[in-house]
Amino acid sequence: MSSPNQITPANIGAYFFMEKLSPQNVNEGFCCFIEEYNEYLLRDALRSHTDHVALTWVLRERDGGKIAAYMALIADAIKLSFSEKELHNLDYPFKTIPAMKIAKLAVSAVFREKFSGIGTSMIFAAHCIARSCNDHYFAARFLTVDADIEHDEGVLSFYQKTGFLQNAELYNKNRKTISMRLDLYS
């Protein structure tokens, strides 16, 4: 078995393109390892967009147009402890800090076998979108995610590898997700 092609932010454009999900570009062939995430893309993502709850971005292969990955982005805010704010050099009088959240992130099982680095590249894309919002629309200091450890225990190390830190203020050992943050400006 050959090793998968490595996808990076520098070469992703040669294989894929990113676009907002719309009724014209839904692809019913998407399948990842988590059924809940498949269902979200096929049944809930467009409604979430129409209801102004989440905006879903899809990563499509250039050759066949199939969806390789998707992410749903929403506005967020996180509470940071004094020491967490110190870590990010935030001398800010409020506990709550604005953020943009990756509400869902999934990579197709087929494309996961053919390529490595798609998930990391999606995080990079979310980072770019958040920074663009900061430049043009609204402030967000952090990119946040609730790491879904119920469905994949390895997801915590994936997010840590991409620079995310656990939010101590929101930590609860009985949760099915772990709240995490990535400073957009560190």
Question: Residue 92 has what pLDDT?
Answer: 85
User: pLDDT of 6-56, one tens digit each?
Assistant: 999 999 999 999 999 988 877 678 999 899 999 999 999 999 999 999 999
User: pLDDT of 58-102, one tens digit each?
Assistant: 999 999 899 999 999 999 999 998 899 999 999 988 889 999 999
Question: Residue 23 has what pLDDT?
Answer: 85
pTM of the prediction? 0.91
User: pLDDT of 122-140, one tens digit each?
Assistant: 999 999 999 999 899 999 9
Any idea which residue has 């049944």 for tokens?
A: 43
- What is the C-alpha to C-alpha distance for residues 25 and 46, in angstroms, rounded to an integer? 11
Q: Which residues contact 43 (CB under 8 A, 6 or more apart)?
A: none
Question: Residue 175 has what pLDDT?
Answer: 77
Pairing of strands 55-61, 16-20: antiparallel
SS3 readout for 1-29: CCCCEECCCCCHHHHEEEEECCCCCCCCC
Per DSSP, 174 falls in state T
pLDDT (mean) for 146-155: 90
**Res 3 pLDDT > 70:** no
| Torsion, Cα of 170, 99, 106, 43 (10° steps) | 100
Question: Residue 4 has what pLDDT?
Answer: 76
Question: Residue 176 has what pLDDT?
Answer: 87
Q: Using alpha carbons, select from 71, 91, 87, 63 the residue that is nearest to residue 19.
A: 71
